[in-house]
Amino acid sequence: MNSEIIGVIIMFLATIALAIPLGSYIGKVYNGNKTWADGFLKPLDSIFFKLSGINPLKEMNWKQHLAALLTINSIWFLFSMFILMNMSWLPLNPDANPSMSADLAFNTTISFISNTNLQHYSGESGVSYLGQMVLMLFQFISAAAGMAVCAVVFMAMKEKTTDQLGNFYNYFVKSCTRVLLPLSIVIAIVLLFNGTPMTFKGKDQFVSLQGDTVNVSRGPAAAMIAIKQLGTNGGGFFGVNAAHPLENPNYFTNIVENVSIILIPIAMVFAMGFIIKRKKFAWMVFGVMTVGFLLLLLPTIYLELQGNPAITKMNIAQPLGSMEGKEVRFGSAASSFWAITTTSTSNGSVNAMHDSLTPLSGMFTMLGMMVNAFYGGVGVGFLNFYIFIIIAVFISGLMVGRTPEFLGKKIEAKEMKIAAIIALLHPLLILSGTALSSWLYAHNPAAYAGWLANPGNHGFSEMLYEFTSSAANNGSGFEGLGDNTPFWNIACGIVMLLSRYLPIIGPLAIAGMLAKKKYIPESAGTLKTDTTTFGIMVFAVIFIIAALSFFPALSLGPIAEFFTIK
Amino acid sequence: MNNQSSNNLFEKNQVSVALKQSFIKLNPATMFRNPVMFAVWIGTIVMAGVCIWIGTGEKNQGSLIYNIIVTVILFITLLFANFAEAIAEARGKAQADSLRKTREETPAKQLVLGEIEVEEIKIVPSSQLRKGDIFICETGDTIPMDGEIIAGIATIDESAITGESAPVIREAGGDKSSVTGGTKVLSDKIKVKVSTEPGESFLDKMIALVEGASRQKTPNEIALTILLAGFTLVFVIVYVTLKPFGDYANTPITIAAFISLFVCLIPTTIGGLLSAIGIAGMDRALRANVITKSGKAVETAGDIDVLLLDKTGTITIGNRKATHFWAADGITDSRFIEACVLSSLSDETPEGKSIVELSNLNKSNFDTTGATFIEFTAETRSSGINLNNGIRIRKGAYDSIKKIAESAGNHFPTETITRVNAISSNGGTPLVVSENEKILGVIELQDIIKPGIQERFERLRKMGVKTVMVTGDNPLTAKFIAEKAGVDDFIAEAKPEDKMNYIKAEQQSGKLVAMMGDGTNDAPALAQADVGVAMNSGTAAAKEAGNMVDLDNDPTKLIEIVEIGKQLLMTRGTLTTFSIANDVAKYFAIVPALFIASIPALQGMNIMNLHSPESAILSAVIFNAIIIPVLIPLALRGVTYKPIGASALLRRNLLVYGFGGVLIPFVGIKLIDLLVSIWF
């Protein structure tokens, strides 16, 4: 078999092999059970709890959890705006990079606080090291916030009637100290030994063979890259992200980073099985996610290995597949694997330019973000999936002749209302954003000529991708788009903001309300949610709601492009 | 039982009423209640406007005839959906009317206080009777109003309501004190107190529920409507944003294409049939002779986890019967049997009669002149006869006869004790017989379990419903019958409060409980149960407390009610699935049609190979309209419920309605396109 494909299979299997034990470890952390790491990590949490005067055992209901989440986030928002707009005179700025404009700082702050990491700036010239470190801090806290909310939902899914769902700060701090921090340290060290820089010194210089003086940007990169992958953040230290030789030096680091991208999202599913004591249910969720993921991955690998049909038509052989925009050290298959993992998990770091993927592969990366629940972002991926489960339970519950119930709790009008709003929010934000930009462009192409590097179907894909990436809190881009303008900064900022918090609040509210309801024990007439049949149902709901509503838009972008160059 | 119901789905007169209603229901105020169809309604108005616009000279919206056809199809879609609701209403109403017909104006003999403070009879029309009024009915009278007997006993012919020709006995004071308007007194005289105001009987309430005026959406219907509204909104977004997308791609999209795409994608099939399904559920209950007080009760019935069933009449046929005479040692069988019959001659209880029956002896051969009969009392727990010649025969429960024998200093034979125990452990009831305080032997009484009841319980078990038998028997007997009949649990020596406590305990653990009852002492439990079915013969209090009334007084009806509830929910679920699954094919029909003119390469997406953009759009809209009337019979009859376990059921329905829902429109749209392509 093709060694490129073997590489992909190894990466995928390695991830699952690591995710299962990590899942039960995370489960134990949230349950408050003893773990082997308590010895050296417990003192670390205690510092935070002592400093802040928080009692991690104080139970909260879902509304208090929500208040805690929003409070933390708004304080960090103000803090980041201040730093980014004043970087030029603050310390740790050896390259004398300028402060950000207000709209760019707004976009960047929202982008990092919402775990999106959409970057309308370039790391080398756009931020100081202080700025980079603030952004890195956000990569921890935004990931931990998602995981903490997810933990609350897990607690609410347990078989009992309660409104006491643990302590938010406890889940939040422990997500950082027990999960993200130790894993990041390990990954950062691996990267460090493979050549990724970790320094506070400014640009390095060398004289090339041609005699030119070349400035090479560097900085505290290894630390940031580790958390950007593990926390499905994706914001690169350097502009071209993981395609940069210092961010992702070789095939081995590529495996390590790629595994880190999907490790925690998959582990969260197994953590759920551990916490609610329904392993089979966790496997059902994992199964549906995996089938969806493979349906995106396999055709992408196939198409990229086939090469670009436009080049084939010129009678030029493409033995390595379509290599435009890809790094030779990774190859087509590994780049395809990265492209699908980074988009379906809301990571958004790239090791190849998605703008240059063949049309349908470009569509599959977009579909990954449109669904946003085939693994999905750390914590939030499951929250998105939860909404689809609720809708699937509702319809299939009726089909077995009972009013619908999920894990022993009745789903009624109130929960349905929230689920319906959240389910339609994603198409609403993506489609109306794209519609607005298409409308502006269509009615005054001259004024907005700077936006699109390629007009026509591909240009449409660039705009669609940008809003999809913002709405999925992904952060990757079809880089042909000229996006550092007030329109894109503000429009994407708003989309990121809404699509971060509402899809967190929705599932949290549903789970909180369900947890308070009376628990109905299972009987032979109850819908079983841990079966293959139910898995197919969930998949069908995802396909019809999340994928088909974008069908008209996709046919104008990648599908039209595909048929045109075929 | 279904004597008045017709199984023909579309009766001529009902269809014509429904057709008329389909137009009346176009009123926007009515349409607004159903968000999905209201969206179609707006689409139709817009299309009508477009037609006029083209008529005044607009050139970019396609041909006038094409636009008119789209408008007409949308209009027909609306009519089809309205027709579905109207025909369900018409059927329900016809069913209710046939019951109500029995209570036309009849003269009532009202008791009023005369001038000199004496009650006198005044003949008034039945419509003038008010709650609390008292009337009298004698042999041959038709009972003018629902009421409760306050004095007297009568045999009554209830065949007008139940279809059962055997007369029933109704009397004051007991649990069978209710009479229904329209039934006929066959003998004797009763004094009845009117229990409902005119127009407020259960039947009247049910008709109002069916007719829509007071029809409230059930909680599950509301939740489903929200989901469908959500789906509708998603497609509003999809089609509104298509306009700027089209602008960008330099693809003009006609308004007809926009609206067709939208109408096809929103779940019109389930939207159009939703209320018909709900009404049909109540109608099916009514056809089973069950009056429901709300649509919610039918829905809840589908969720029932625990069924409380009275042993007598539900699990066993009537009462216990004598099955064997066991004479004590030294007593000949013939002597023993003779004594048994003598003691039972005047015993009018079913047990007593069954003893005479079993003996095969003729009653008239016995000379009982001068004999005194000893009635059964709760204290003595025995009955019997004192003959002229001084012989005292007693029969009764083991311990009471034992006491009689032992207090007279007589020995209780050990072999009889063994027999008594054997009978008890076999689920029978031993009846010990003594003559002059000496033990003669024991009669075995057995419950006869209804044939086929085990299968029904098995069916319920597969539905996930737990069955509980309620009986006054001792635990040993109860256990035996419970095992034999296949119920999951039993309440022995049950007092009314035991039922109540059992229901509360089950509800505490989150289960939904259904029960049937008739007596006033059942009323609290009926009210407590999630589904309480009162027998029509029961007291007014019981009927008031329950949320359904069974006109047939048939205790096994509970099982049917559960199935009707499940059927209702399943029909909703499967048609929703079908409706949404249809979207896949519709996308593939319409989306290429929208863009093909400006991006010819998209022909590759036209996988059904439809003839032209116009024919593709028309075929999709026509399919979308036609599928509603095609599914009306299914909505009215309900999806068949098969007790095969929830997972198997989901698999089956997903295959039929989900997978089928994806495939059928591909075939249907293609076929319609073949026809439409002749013109477009």
Q: φ, ψ for residue B202 (rounded to 5)? A: -60, -35
Number of Cβ within 10 Å of residue A239's Cβ equals: 16
Provide the number of CB pairs (under 8 Å) joining chain A to chain B: 225
**Which residues in chain A have their CB less than 8 angstroms from residue B574's CB?**
398-399
Query: A533: which residues sit within 8 A by CB, 6+ positions away?
Result: B647, B650, B651, B654
Q: Measured between CB atoms, does A525 come within 8 Å of chain B?
A: yes
Interface test with B, best of A388, A403, A463 (most B CBs within 10 A): A403
Q: Rounded CA gap, B233 and B271, in Å?
A: 14
According to the model, what pLDDT value does residue B411 have? 84
Residue range B554-582: mean pLDDT, rounded: 89
Q: Rounded CA gap, B521 and B543, in Å?
A: 12
According to the model, what pLDDT value does residue A263 have? 95
If one compares A562 and B104, the residue with the highest pLDDT of the two is A562
Number of Cβ within 10 Å of residue A89's Cβ equals: 8
According to the model, what pLDDT value does residue B459 have? 81
pLDDT category of residue A82 using cuts at 50, 70 and 90: very high
Decide: A154 and A160 in contact? Cβ < 8 Å. no
Across the interface, which of B219, B602, B649 has its CB nearest the CB of A400?
B649
According to the model, what pLDDT value does residue B6 have? 47
ipTM: 0.89
Across the interface, which of B464, B605, B654 has its CB nearest the CB of A526?
B464
Decide: A519 and A70 in contact? Cβ < 8 Å. no
**Which residues in chain B have their CB less than 8 angstroms from residue A396's CB?**
573, 577, 650, 654
Residue B98 exposed, middle or buried by CB count within 10 Å (0-12, 13-18, 19+): middle
Beta strands B489-491; B466-470: pairing state = parallel
Q: Measured between CB atoms, does B466 come within 8 Å of chain A?
A: yes
pLDDT category of residue B629 using cuts at 50, 70 and 90: very high
HEC profile of B610-660: CCCHHHHHHHHHHHHHHHHHHHHHHHHHCCCCCCCCHHHHHHHHHHHHHHH
What's the mean pLDDT when you consider all of chain A? 91
**Which residues in chain B have their CB less than 8 angstroms from residue A527's CB?**
646, 650
Return the CA Rg of chain B. Answer: 34
Q: Which of residues 225-244 of B touch A (CB under 8 A)?
A: 226-227, 229-231, 233-235, 237-238, 240-244
Residue for token pair 């000949």:
B332
Q: Measured between CB atoms, does A81 come within 8 Å of chain B?
A: no
What's the mean pLDDT when you consider all of chain B? 85
According to the model, what pLDDT value does residue A421 have? 94
H and E: helices and strands count for chain A: 21, 4
- Taking an 8 Å cut-off on Cβ atoms, the answer to whether B248 and A439 are in contact is yes
Encode pLDDT of B254-303 as tens digits.
899 989 989 999 999 999 999 899 888 888 888 888 888 888 888 888 88
- Taking an 8 Å cut-off on Cβ atoms, the answer to whether A399 and B574 are in contact is yes
Which residue(s) pair with B491 in the sheet?
Answer: B470
**DSSP label at A178?**
I
Which residue(s) pair with B394 in the sheet?
Answer: B384, B434
According to the model, what pLDDT value does residue B645 have? 80
Q: Is the pLDDT of residue A343 over 90?
A: yes
pLDDT category of residue A362 using cuts at 50, 70 and 90: very high
Q: Rounded CA gap, A472 and A494, in Å?
A: 13
pLDDT category of residue B163 using cuts at 50, 70 and 90: low
- Closest-CA distance, B29 to chain A, in angstroms, reads 23
Decide: A266 and A345 in contact? Cβ < 8 Å. no
According to the model, what pLDDT value does residue B211 have? 67
Residue range A49-76: mean pLDDT, rounded: 91
Strand, coil or helix: what is B32?
coil
Q: Is the pLDDT of residue B115 over 70?
A: no
**Which residues in chain A have their CB less than 8 angstroms from residue B466's CB?**
523
**Is B310 tagged catalytic?**
yes
- Taking an 8 Å cut-off on Cβ atoms, the answer to whether A521 and B511 are in contact is yes
**DSSP label at B215?**
P
- Taking an 8 Å cut-off on Cβ atoms, the answer to whether A400 and B653 are in contact is yes
According to the model, what pLDDT value does residue B269 have? 92
Q: Measured between CB atoms, does B132 come within 8 Å of chain A?
A: no
Across the interface, which of A394, A527, A556 has its CB nearest the CB of B650?
A527
Residue range A159-165: mean pLDDT, rounded: 87
In A86-205, which residue ranges form alpha helices assigned H by DSSP? 102-113, 123-126, 129-156, 168-174, 181-193
Strand, coil or helix: what is B57?
coil
- Closest-CA distance, B676 to chain A, in angstroms, reads 24
- Taking an 8 Å cut-off on Cβ atoms, the answer to whether A413 and B581 are in contact is no
Q: Is the pLDDT of residue A310 over 70?
A: yes
Mean pLDDT lowest among A336-340, A443-447, B356-360, B374-378? B374-378
Interface test with B, best of A159, A281, A398 (most B CBs within 10 A): A398
Residue-range definition of the domain harbouring residue A477: 3-565
Q: Which of residues 8-67 of A touch B (CB under 8 A)?
A: none
Interface test with A, best of B247, B606, B617, B650 (most A CBs within 10 A): B650
**Closest by alpha carbon to B270, among B2, B17, B635?**
B635
Return the CA Rg of chain A. Answer: 23
- Closest-CA distance, A487 to chain B, in angstroms, reads 17
Q: Is the pLDDT of residue B140 over 50?
A: yes
**Closest by alpha carbon to A100, among A81, A124, A118?**
A81
Q: Which of residues 432-471 of A touch B (CB under 8 A)?
A: 432, 434-436, 438-439, 441-443, 457, 460
Residue range B68-85: mean pLDDT, rounded: 94
Strand, coil or helix: what is A61?
coil
- Closest-CA distance, B286 to chain A, in angstroms, reads 19
Q: Rounded CA gap, A28 and A34, in Å?
A: 7
Encode pLDDT of B50-63 as tens digits.
999 998 888 888 88
**DSSP label at B316?**
B
**Closest by alpha carbon to B45, among B7, B18, B78?**
B78
Q: In this structure, what token pair is assigned to residue B146?
A: 């629902």
Query: A3: which residues sit within 8 A by CB, 6+ positions away?
Result: none
Residue of chain A whose alpha carbon sits nearest to that of B258:
A552
- Taking an 8 Å cut-off on Cβ atoms, the answer to whether A520 and B248 are in contact is no
Decide: B662 and B585 in contact? Cβ < 8 Å. yes
**Which residues in chain A have their CB less than 8 angstroms from residue B509's CB?**
521
What percentage of chain B carries pLDDT values higher than 70?
94
Q: Rounded CA gap, A368 and A289, in Å?
A: 11
Query: B584: which residues sit within 8 A by CB, 6+ positions away?
Result: A544, A548, B662, B665
- Buried/exposed code over B386-412 (b: 16+ C-beta within 10 A; e: otherwise): ebeeeebbbbbbbebbbbbbeeeeeeb
Torsion, Cα of B187, B193, B198, B204 (10° steps):
-70
Q: Rounded CA gap, A504 and A492, in Å?
A: 18
If one compares B648 and B174, the residue with the highest pLDDT of the two is B648
The catalytic position among B141, B303, B310, B447 is B310
**Closest by alpha carbon to A222, among A191, A256, A200, A183?**
A191
Q: Measured between CB atoms, does B297 come within 8 Å of chain A?
A: no
Q: Which of residues 426-465 of B touch A (CB under 8 A)?
A: 461-465
Number of Cβ within 10 Å of residue B329's Cβ equals: 10
Q: Rounded CA gap, A253 and A251, in Å?
A: 6
